[in-house]
Structure 1
């Protein structure tokens, strides 16, 4: 059996996390958040708040944990923090065994151990990942213009006696920001508040609809879900990376790469007969969006993350080429799972797929395109 069969079986199964509804709402209150969006957002939180990681924390590993941590909810469902559920731990452990068991050994074992380390919360890396996972839902409520009163009550209880009760010790700046919002006190200018403003703006990516559907064709995915999924692709398909590729850097790029769609929207690769996506007009709009969005951050951090986005766009380094390849592979796999998906509506031919997708994939992950091309053949001519 080709190991890629198992790797893609896992990645396609992971797509189901996009349909697991959480207790939190989007910041605009339009709908409930799902666990895939949450996983993307907390991974982005970890990247932005890296300076608050404790001594001994491996930031890349913490981000890997956050990409994986809620996959068990595919089987076990979301567990709201304010509701008791004595069987949740057993259900999640069983789900972890099934899900990571889809992967080839030893990759499945490595991912299961990563998840178990997060759950135990003992290592500095796991403690930081937990810290992020505990903080993001608080501000998902507190940064909303019109938070639900019952959600505010849950946040208040969580800070007083729940899992965030030790936040004054673990993360004083986070605790102060939360308390200020709970008390309707003036917010003090700080780098923490700038970072929080950026992460609040990033929440809008959850409302950007893409052309690609979920694997079950139930709806179109959004760009936050896509960003989480391809970051997970990078973690699971790291064995496909060539010399000079830094997987942790690839994942950082993929977490950030589509933030510009907050301003520009999704531009499908097959739209306007394949010309719109790479047009000078779209590229200029995306560059302006990047300058605005990364400009929300403290200067040095904003420059660093903007630089990662620019590296991805330039597609010149080995890490960027691999990241670009995965950004092309994931939508193709989604369409394959939907028996052609959106290719019919765009009248995509095999030649067009080779030109617009295959060359990009082969440029950064040469072993992947021959494998995927065979899977495409029943659906394009």
Structure 2
């Protein structure tokens, strides 16, 4: 079962290499579909969506591994694209042990089958709009696409489906400021979160082409939780674990990634790093409306403390995913830090074993094969 689960999860890594027509808010590069999926899931979390809607979002763009991104301003063969995406879904979800469950979520999202799917679609369509409109110096052609989208495109429905969001977008299009209130604070937080896409980590994509960033890492971890949730211990709420993982690395916007195998005064887990991360958490979650910001800060602190069943399982996945990335990419990140099997056993093993003994047993077999081979 775990071999199949990781075949799917490792295939999903390819979504990090699918470029979209949209760009990061600092205009530095195109956004990719994995970090987009993370950002949309965070949007859903902030806007009060259900666990089911968030699960749909984690999966919704996986078909682009085979079909690529389809920019909304270009002409498409709608029927042909639908067939190609359905075939991609069959291929990809057949890799997973519970592929039928995942495929059903994807189909429900595509068909707007229920209220959760409607919300998930709304988040998927809203995120690119505000990513353009809230950039410091948005590209004129991207602004024109947004204007058309809100006027006669798929987002025109926001005027009746989500009037508050439609009004906020229209205000920004007109060169004005966002109306005050909770929505403006949530949008400010979500715009700030875009910076996590620029934080580079020590490990690399599975194809070795570049370093992974912390936003796509957070998406991949949430997908891990969705796929591996059956390994969690009694009392674990997998939906809540996913929410933890979506926000767990936001502090890196201020602090940067601190590699697990780093050393010295600024090493992973040092007092200096913990203090810096706590200050970053207070600043970033403080952008939200007060009650919501406090709740997210508490969730982040729970993850850091690793004292509840949800946090223990979340931490296990957070330790497991980078090890798998290294195993499947030839250990490139480990070579840089002169990592040995003993290092991984000591820094990864206890956390993964605590969250899921079966997961550690599977991972340890791979580690022995890599380091002893």
CA contact (8 A) 1:340 1:380 kept: no
Partner of 2:17: 19
Moved more, 79-88 or 223-232: 79-88
| 1:185 match | 176
Shift, 1:378, TM fit: 3.1
Match of 2:201 among 204, 210, 214: 210
Taking only aligned residues, the RMSD between alpha carbons, in angstroms, comes to: 1.1
Q: Flag the 1:333–1:205 CA change in 2: closer, same or farther, 3 A.
A: same
Counterpart contact for 1:348–1:380, Cα < 8 Å:
no
Question: How far apart in 2 are the matches of 1:131 and 1:166?
Answer: 9
Give distance in 2, aligned partners of 1:337 and 1:221.
13
1:38 to 36, 57, 74: 36
Displacement of 1:95: 0.2
Aligned mates of 2:166, 2:230 — CA distance in 1: 40
1:367 aligns with 2:367: no
| Equivalent position of 2:321 in the other structure | 330
Contact 2:38 2:215 in 1 (8 A): yes
Please tell me whether residue 94 in structure 1 is matched to residue 94 in structure 2.
Answer: no
Give per-residue Cα distances to partners, 1:235-263, cap 9 Å, x unaligned: 00011101010000000000000000000
Number of residues paired by the alignment? 370
Q: How does 1:298-309 map to 2 (within 5 A)?
A: 298-309=289-300
Deviation track 1:237-290 (CA, whole Å, cap 9, x = no partner) reads 011101010000000000000000000000000011798101000000000000
> Match for residue 73 of structure 1?
64
Do 2:251 and 2:284's aligned partners in 1 also have CA atoms closer than 8 Å?
Answer: yes
Q: Does 1:272 align with 2:263?
A: yes
User: 1:56 maps to which residue?
Assistant: none
Residue in 1 aligned with 2:96? 103
Runs of 4+ in 1 over 4 A off after TM superposition: none
Shift of the alpha carbon at 1:147?
A: 0.8
Please name the residue that 1:197 is paired with: 188
Task: Give me the TM-score of the superposition, normalised by structure 2.
Answer: 0.98
Q: 1:257 & 1:320 partners in 2: Cα distance?
A: 10
Unaligned runs of 5+ in 1: 54-58
Deviations 1:341-362 (A, max 9, x none): 2112211111111110011111
Q: Does 1:243 align with 2:234?
A: yes
TM-score normalised per structure 1: 0.95
Q: Is 271-280 or 113-122 further displaced after alignment?
A: 271-280
Distance in structure 2 (CA, Å) of the matches to 1:177 and 1:93:
35
